Amino acid sequence: MPPSRPSPRPILLSVHDAVVTRRSIRQYQARPIERETLQRLVDAGRLAPSAANLQPLEFIVVDEPEVRDHVFPALKWAAYIHPNGDPKPGHKPQAYIIVLVNANVREKMYEYDVGAAVEAMAVSAWAEGIGSCWLISIDRDRIQAALGVPASHRIDSVLSLGYPAETSSVEEYKDSVRYWKDPDGSFHVPKRKLRDVCHFNAF
């Protein structure tokens, strides 16, 4: 008799719905994320496509409050509407995933791996009701010192995580790509129309 397998976790969203409804979230509830859930998100990043299957990426999960306090000042948020897009007191991320590149494995052309891994983690998080924001404008030296990252590993980016305390929706792109917040604090993100970017068989 084959060994029994654990029951699959309930899916909150279809894959497609998780992809198309995911938006960057920058205000979070003061509700912790279970470590098992964080490990599951990293696993999604670990299993994302990797060029030549070299797998240069590693991840640091930050979930302890005192360590989160060291990471937060190293992050810049929502440049178009700074400082209105910054997490407010009581609404900071409950966890971070720091994306590292092992230079001993790959020194360049790793950006594709990073993009695939971060998207996989962000979509997986959203499917479980967890918001995220991919941050690239960061103080890498400060994070390296705070987390003891060796010189052999480049800090590429940070994925902030938490249960949402704000909403964000897609708007039809008109004359600007700049996102904005309405008086109720909801984000609005312009996106180009499908018919403007999707071409079949020729341009």
The CATH T-level fold of domain 167-203 is: putative fmn-dependent nitroreductase like fold (2.20.180)
Contact call for residues 57 and 117 (beta carbons, < 8 A): yes
Q: How confident is the prediction for the chain on average, in pLDDT?
A: 94
Beta carbons of 27 and 87 less than 8 angstroms apart: yes
What is the side-by-side order of every strand in the sheet holding 168-172?
A: 168-172, 187-191, 180-181
Query: Domain residues of the chain, as ranges?
Result: 24-165, 167-203
pTM: 0.92
Q: How far is it, in rounded angstroms, from Cα 99 to Cα 101?
A: 7
Tell me if residue 168 falls in helix, strand or coil: strand
pLDDT one-digit tens code per residue, 97-156:
999 999 999 999 999 999 999 999 999 999 999 999 999 999 999 999 999 999 999 999
**Which CATH class for the 24-165 domain?**
alpha beta
Domains 24-165 and 167-203 equal at CATH topology level: no
